[in-house]
C-alpha cells in the first residue's frame, strides 16, 4: 500500500507531501456468457471500496492513463471505465493467444 507523509513548514505553512506509488496485480475471474450486458451502473460504496477506488483513480492520474478513446482519466467513473477496458482487452488478448497455438 502506498504511504504518504505530510510535514508542514512553520515559516510558509505549506505541506510537503511524499507519495509512494505501487502497481497492484489483481486476478479477476471473467467469463463470456453471451448474457445481456448493462451499459449503466449506479452504486453506493463503503469506506473500503471508495478508498480503493480513490487509490486507483489517483494512480491512473499520476500515470497519465488514457481511456480507449484517447481521453484522460479525469474522475472515478473514468477509472472504472479504464479498469473494465483493461479486463476486456486482457480477455481478448488471452483468447487470441490461445487460438493461435
What's the CA gap between 55 and 64, in Å, rounded?
14
Higher pLDDT, 8 or 49: 49
CB 77 within 8 A of CB 45: no
Q: List pLDDT tens digits, range 31-75.
A: 999 999 999 999 999 999 999 999 999 999 999 999 999 999 999
pTM of the model: 0.78
Amino acid at each position: 500500500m502506498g504511504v504518504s507523509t505530510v510535514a508542514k513548514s512553520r515559516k510558509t505553512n505549506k505541506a510537503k507531501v511524499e507519495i509512494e506509488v505501487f502497481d497492484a496485480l489483481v486476478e479477476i475471474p471473467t467469463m463470456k456468457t453471451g448474457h445481456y450486458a448493462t451499459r449503466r451502473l449506479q452504486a453506493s460504496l463503503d469506506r473500503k471500496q471508495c478508498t480503493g477506488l480513490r487509490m486507483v483513480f489517483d494512480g491512473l492520474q499520476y500515470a497519465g492513463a488514457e481511456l480507449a478513446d484517447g481521453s484522460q482519466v479525469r474522475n472515478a467513473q473514468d477509472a472504472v471505465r479504464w479498469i473494465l477496458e483493461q479486463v476486456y482487452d486482457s480477455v481478448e488478448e488471452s483468447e487470441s493467444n490461445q487460438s493461435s497455438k
